[in-house]
Structures are given as structure tokens and as C-alpha cells.
Amino acid sequence: MWFEIQGLPAVSIASSEFAEAAEVQRKALGMEGARYVLVDHPIQDATDDEMRAKAHAVIEAVVAALTV
């Protein structure tokens, strides 16, 4: 969120398990326009290859969020 406050394009990335928390947090901070992308849960026990696949699955959404 620091980058957004500074006026720099930013996107948060979180596990899909935290979708509701992401919404609550950005509203609580008065940053309804803050962008975030969710990756499939779980990530804690994911292998490197599984994490690469998760990242690959959302890269276009991340780029889109940064270029809004």
C-alpha cells in the first residue's frame, strides 16, 4: 500500500483464501481503488514448480492491474 500512497503503480498479490480480508483492508484504509490479484490457495506448502505455475496463471492480471 505504501507505493499506492506515493502515487506509484502497485498491485498486491495474495492467496485466494484472503480475498475477503483484502477487501476489508483496502476499505478500512480508504483505498478502495487499490488493486490486488489472488493466486490459488494454498501456497504455504507449494513446491517451487507449483509456485511458478501459480505465478504464471496470474501474470496477465498483475500486468493489467499495473497498467490501469
Looking at the structure of the chain, the number of domains it has is 1
Domain range spanning residue 22?
2-66
Residue closest to 11 by CA, chosen among 43, 38, 29: 38
Per-residue pLDDT for the chain (68 aa), expressed as one digit of tens each?
678 778 888 999 999 999 999 999 999 988 888 899 999 999 999 999 999 999 999 999 999 999 97
- CA nearest 14: which of 41, 46, 50, 32? 41
Q: What is the pLDDT of residue 58?
A: 98
Q: Residue 32 has which C-alpha cell?
A: 478502495
What predicted TM-score, i.e. pTM, was given to this entire model?
Answer: 0.83
Distance spanning both ends of the chain, measured CA to CA: 16
pLDDT of residue 63: 97
